[in-house]
Amino acid sequence: MTTLNEYLDSAGCSSELKELIGLISMQAVPIREAFINNQSYSGTENTSGDRQAALDVWSDEHITDALMRSGLVSEIASEEKPDIVRNPKAGTGFAVVMDPLDGSSLIQVNLCVGTIVGIYDNSNALSMGRDLKAAMYMLYGPMTVLTVSVGKGVYIFALKSGVYTLLDGPVKMPEGNLYGSGALKKDWTEKHSEFISAIEKDGGKLRYSGSFVADFHQILKYGGVYCYPATKDKPEGKLRLVYEANPIGFIAEQAGGLISDGKNDLLDIVPQKPDHKTPIYVGSRGIIKDLERIMK
Residue with smaller CB distance to ligand AHM, 160 or 273 = 273
105 vs 123 by CB, closer to Mg ion: 105
Q: Which amino acid is at 280?
A: I
Is 199:287 a contact under the CB 8 Å cutoff?
yes
Q: Give the separation between CA 214 and CA 227, rounded to whole angstroms.
A: 13
**Cα–chain-centroid distance for residue 141?**
15
Beta bridge partners of 180: 226
Stretch that binds ligand AHM, among 16-24, 26-34, 194-202, 210-218 (CB under 6 A): 210-218
Binds Mg ion (CB under 5 A): choice among 60, 102, 121, 253: 102
Cα–Cα distance measured from residue 277 to residue 258, given in angstroms and rounded to the nearest whole number: 18
C-alpha–C-alpha distance, residues 59 and 82, integer Å: 16
What track of x and - describes contact with ligand AHM for positions 8 through 47 (by CB under 6 A)? ----------------------------------------
155 binds ligand AHM (CB under 6 A): no
C-beta of 52 vs 74, nearer to ligand AHM: 52
Whichever of 50 and 236 has its CB closer to ligand AHM, that residue is 50
Interaction between residue 60 and ligand AHM (CB under 6 A):
no
- Interface with Mg ion by CB under 5 A: which range of 26-34, 51-59, 92-100, 139-147? 92-100
- What amino acid occupies position 246? N
Q: Which residues contact residue 150 at a Cβ distance below 8 angstroms, ignoring those fewer than 6 apart?
A: 8, 11, 13, 17, 21, 133, 134
Q: Which of 105, 122, 177, 218 is the binder for ligand AHM (CB under 6 A)?
A: 105
56 included as an active-site residue: yes
Name the 3-class secondary structure at 109.
helix
225 by Cβ neighbours in 10 Å (0-12 / 13-18 / 19+) ranks as buried
**Residue 261 is a catalytic residue:** no
Which residues participate in catalysis according to the annotation?
Answer: 50, 56, 79-80, 99, 101-102, 244
Q: What residues line the site for Mg ion (CB under 5 A)?
A: 99, 102
List residues near ligand AHM by CB under 6 A.
50, 79, 99, 102-105, 182, 210-212, 228, 238
